[in-house]
Amino acid sequence: MEKVHVVDHPLVQHKLCILRDENTGVKDFREVVSEIATLMCYEATRDLPLEDVEIKTPITTATFRHLSGKKLAIVPILRAGLGMVDGILTLIPSAKVGHIGLYRDPQTLEPVEYYCKMPTDIAERDVIILDPMLATGGSASAAIQFIKNYDVKHIKLMNIIAAPEGIERIRRDHPDVEIYCAAVDEKLNDHGYIVPGLGDAGDRIFGTK
């Protein structure tokens, strides 16, 4: 099974250019993050199981396929992952939402946890973790381990931009987790920012800089 999926659909690539542009303001940035999340959700849910269902149309009765009712949860990594939540719920309105608060210590680049609230039945759900940026991979790796500690069996990670270093870290720490991203960028700079990247995703979504 391929474990890193780059969503190279033209609409996603076009919208990603808008995010990368330093002149894109908060309102547009927020809207486009959400739109990209919706488009990526379409790819990340491609393997959802279907089951037969009989439906009476106005013409006849026939057998069709609908979702087999598999339970999903999405878990944004605060803050920036919040920007992707509504875009996913557009397609999967019944998904439950857990939250993990992590920030990266600017000196050590190590993730620091400050909040966690999961749905009570999280162990029975497949989980998609949301974070626009996969840089060193420290935050995502910690979030994945955190959710595994709840006995969750199937976890996917959805990022908008990933650095090779972050992908490598997740492949090493959690080889079972599939990664969905819209781009794999060149590298990290000395401050742990993705190059060329889009800057600080949290600050751009919430207008804090």
Query: Where does this chain bind ligand URA (CB under 6 A)?
Result: 80, 133, 135, 192-194, 197, 200-202
Task: State which residue, 73 or 77, has the beta carbon closest to ligand URA.
Answer: 77
Cβ atoms of residues 156 and 178 within 8 Å: yes
Minimum Å gap between C-beta 193 and ligand PRP is 9
With contacts defined by CB under 6 A, how many residues of the chain interact with ligand PRP? 23
Distances (CA, A) of 112 to 49, 143, 163: 36, 11, 20
CA–CA distance, 120 with 117 (Å, rounded to integer): 9
For the question of residue 52 being annotated catalytic, the response is: no
Examine residue 83 and tell whether it contacts ligand PRP (CB under 6 A).
Answer: no
Q: Does 84 bind ligand PRP (CB under 6 A)?
A: no
Q: Which residue among the candidates 20, 79, 104, 171 is catalytic per the annotation?
A: 104
Selection from 168, 106, 105 nearest residue 134 by Cα: 168
Residue 202: phi and psi, rounded to 5, are: -60, -45
Q: Binders of ligand PRP among 85-124, rule CB under 6 A?
A: 102-104, 109, 111
Contact between 77 and 129 under an 8 Å Cβ cutoff? The reply is: yes
Residue 130 has, within 13 A of its CA and on its CB side, a CA count of 29
171 burial via Cβ count (<10 Å: 0-12, 13-18, 19+): middle
What is the phi-psi region of residue 137: left when phi exceeds 0, alpha when psi lies from -120 to 50, beta otherwise?
left
Q: Please identify, using beta-carbon distances, which residue of 32 and 80 lies nearer to ligand URA.
A: 80
**Closest approach of ligand PRP to the CB of residue 201, in Å:** 5
CB of 18 vs ligand PRP, minimal distance in Å: 18
Q: Which of ligand PRP, ligand URA, none does residue 98 bind (CB under 5 to 8 Å by kind)?
A: none
- Smallest gap from residue 153 Cβ to ligand URA (A): 28
| Binding mask of the shown chain, residues 124 to 163, with x at each position contacting ligand PRP by CB under 6 A | -------xxxxxxxxxx-----------------------
What Rg value do the Cα atoms of the chain yield, rounded?
A: 18
- Kindly list the catalytic residues: 104, 108, 200, 203
Interface residues toward ligand PRP, by CB under 6 A: 77, 79-80, 102-104, 109, 111, 131-140, 166, 192, 200-202
